[in-house]
Chains A and B, each alone.
Chain A
């Protein structure tokens, strides 16, 4: 087995654990590269079908290309797609910096879906290498009442044994991609030929490395217009993946505050 085989096998193991242990369960599909890989891995785990609903929490501010992609692949992959909306920005904590405040809309939309469907498990495609607070995550990450993440009191987790504590109002975030790195994602996309939104590929010297809402994501300088070129570019890059995400740079702890409150 090479490193991608190992990552794949581990993610399949995690997805199968989640499916067995957490019901009702749902998978978050943001339409980005990571969550496409995640849907793909779920199909691998369950012999070509995704046996739980796939949720898209829609801010209404995604790129048109993303909406088109969603319609096409929800059908093609036979997904049980659930759409969730987000409250207007006026309803969000005004003490947050502007971009973080905008991003927090998604947290509120997600919280609404989780509560409505009484979900016990939510599969999310975060990776440790994306951002420092994500590096602190568990594979099965319990969220207390109000969906809060207690960073300082996380359960022990080792030898592929995942705690599933439960009280009313709690749910578990499941992170099958936690050990993957950005370059692993791209190499796997190449190997498996997983479809992606075109925005990831360079046009006029720019491409999106990470896709958020239109108003808070900017493209990076790049000439990589194919998966192979993206991989080559990443192998020589030392710029952080989320450099184009405004909220990561607003204040030292903005992202941590968002995540404690339930943001991905």
Chain B
């Protein structure tokens, strides 16, 4: 064997570990039946099992029900559904497989992931007549996210189409198109009948036109994973023991090899130590260990790493893991409630645990067409791409299918796994954005609405100085409050008296004034309130900025009082002061006012004060009624 543990001839002489195969697909497309059939056709059933199935089927007045082989729990037999995943060993020639039966019901997604996450290949069962259904798409997407590389499609129940070549070709083309969009390579599409055994273990006479492999042939073609030995060394520290005065750094090697004398860097700090000994108990002494082995290392100097510290080759920057406090990740979300920006979790990466906050939800998958679009929340059992922010830099390798790297999970404060997070890589920090970690409200929009009896909203009144914005806003505030609506007014002078007292009237300061007002309005609205903002906000661009900050629920209201009327009213004597040159850059006199082009509501000049506030109040009520 010499110095290297990579020895193909010797490896081939060993028994290979069983290849896990996951069977997925929409409910009632025939997963359990397929597995039962596979076990029967390959002579993998234990004595008495067949008789037991026949008896169970007879008791329930059914013909032989292959799915009973797997649906072994009482509830499953009685309700006819698979509750959880099951593993069944099975052999094809000299090759061992483990079948993972994954339930199709939507609420059992987490059980499916539990079964499927380490599978080497997947059989996606699709009813040839029904074609891809919701769970077909969901499972296909999941196969991609968890990195399963080999996918075989079984077009089941092809007998229902009489094995008609044209109809099956159409079904095949639809499924291929779906999987193509997910960048999943399809190894084979097999038209079959699991119940009757067509094209499962033996070629069907009913589909003479089909030249591809049977399911069993397709499974035999699945290659075992490539060894991880040739990659740069990685060992996450699992624990550190001290026995009889010797310190052992314990862990499992994820990739590469380590040998006595190697120099290793330890964690983010990057301290360097030499491997003094590769330690095992009751095993031949060997100075080298490779990927997959659970070993212990004695280090020189005798440093004390922490659990979670990644060990990697020292002094080889090209072989170092990524170091960042912000990470982009794909996400499958397993909690019963939606995920929101600002929520905090523990990110478990191998043995490391990091506190992280969801800094942004960058894209959410639409399961109807598998498109990625913006979104504020990730629904239960949903898929998304998000950015996580940690308080300290952490070390990781991006997720690669077939390897253990970058496979994070999110854990809540009750130590429950709520999401799977295959990491994409480092997240660039937007310019000027500090690594801040906002917390999100735990009160859902629905709960707020229930508690307050109405929706939130921001009603942004713009118009010339003296146009009557504040007067109308205050009148509407009173009317709304009397009707049980929680309303708040933010007007220019109030803001400038405190929050914005450091600002003048230059275009830059006005823009900043509007930016601050918009953020305050957003915070108040997110707490469930109705916010009426009364600000001259003369420039369209600045009002658009406010709309962007506030997002959904922003309403622009134009208080359309002409300049002459405002100047005649001049309640604060400002126009007079401006005309006499005492105030520079006064909107309408010495600075521009850009009227809204398409306001959500326009309060016309000929309205009385009472009519204007009545119009605004009515508009707000319609907008926030549940």
Chain B residues with Cβ below 8 Å from A88 are: none
> What's the nearest-Cβ distance from chain B to residue A147, in Å?
19
> What's the nearest-Cβ distance from chain A to residue B474, in Å?
52
Counting chain A residues whose Cβ lies within 8 A of the other chain, the interface size class is: 35 or more
| A35-52 contacts to B (CB < 8 Å) | 43-49, 51
Whether B241 lies near A159 (C-beta < 8 A) is no
Whether A238 lies near B417 (C-beta < 8 A) is no
Whether A238 lies near B307 (C-beta < 8 A) is no
Scan B1-23; emit 1 where CB is below 8 A from any A CB, else 0.
00000000000001111100000
- With contacts A157-B114, A163-B415 taken as known, whether A6 is within 8 angstroms of B17 at the C-beta atoms is yes
Whether B415 lies near A20 (C-beta < 8 A) is no
Please pick, from A9, A48, A181, A238, the residue contacting B45 in the complex, using a CB distance under 8 A: A238
Whether B348 lies near A47 (C-beta < 8 A) is no
10 A-B pairs besides A43-B281, A132-B72, A159-B407 with CB distance below 8 A are: A3-B15, A7-B17, A12-B252, A17-B238, A43-B282, A154-B114, A159-B117, A159-B118, A161-B409, A252-B77
By Cβ-Cβ distance, the 9 closest A-B pairs, closest first, are A2-B14, A132-B72, A158-B117, A156-B110, A12-B294, A3-B17, A253-B74, A9-B294, A159-B407
| A48-77 contacts to B (CB < 8 Å) | 48-49, 51
Whether B282 lies near A252 (C-beta < 8 A) is no
Instruction: Please list 13 pairs of residues, one from A and one from B, whose beta carbons are closer than 8 Å in the complex, sorted by A's number.
Output: A5-B292, A13-B238, A20-B239, A48-B281, A154-B114, A155-B416, A156-B110, A156-B417, A159-B117, A159-B420, A163-B416, A181-B89, A256-B74
Please pick, from A136, A151, A165, A179, the residue contacting B415 in the complex, using a CB distance under 8 A: A165
| B65-121 contacts to A (CB < 8 Å) | 72-75, 77, 83-89, 96, 110-111, 113-114, 117-118
Complex formed: what's the CA distance from A7 to B411 in Å?
27
| A110-156 contacts to B (CB < 8 Å) | 128-129, 132-133, 135-136, 138, 151-152, 154-156
Counting chain B residues whose Cβ lies within 8 A of the other chain, the interface size class is: 35 or more
Whether B404 lies near A159 (C-beta < 8 A) is yes
Whether A135 lies near B14 (C-beta < 8 A) is no
Scan B563-594; emit 1 where CB is below 8 A from any A CB, else 0.
00000000000000000000000000000000
Question: Residue among B17, B18, B75, B238 with the most chain A CB within 10 A?
Answer: B17
Whether A240 lies near B72 (C-beta < 8 A) is no
Chain A residues with Cβ below 8 Å from B74 are: 252-253, 256
Whether B241 lies near A164 (C-beta < 8 A) is no
Tell me whether A90 is interfacial, beta carbon within 8 Å.
Answer: no
Whether A151 lies near B84 (C-beta < 8 A) is yes
Scan A222-264; emit 1 where CB is below 8 A from any B CB, else 0.
0000000000000000111000000000001100100000000
Complex formed: what's the CA distance from A164 to B86 in Å?
22
Tell me whether A192 is interfacial, beta carbon within 8 Å.
Answer: yes
Chain A residues with Cβ below 8 Å from B77 are: 252
Whether B73 lies near A136 (C-beta < 8 A) is yes
Determine the residue in chain A with the shortest Cβ distance to B85: A136
Complex formed: what's the CA distance from A161 to B296 in Å?
20
Please pick, from B84, B409, B411, B420, the residue contacting A136 in the complex, using a CB distance under 8 A: B84
Tell me whether B514 is interfacial, beta carbon within 8 Å.
Answer: no
> What's the nearest-Cβ distance from chain B to residue A142, in Å?
9
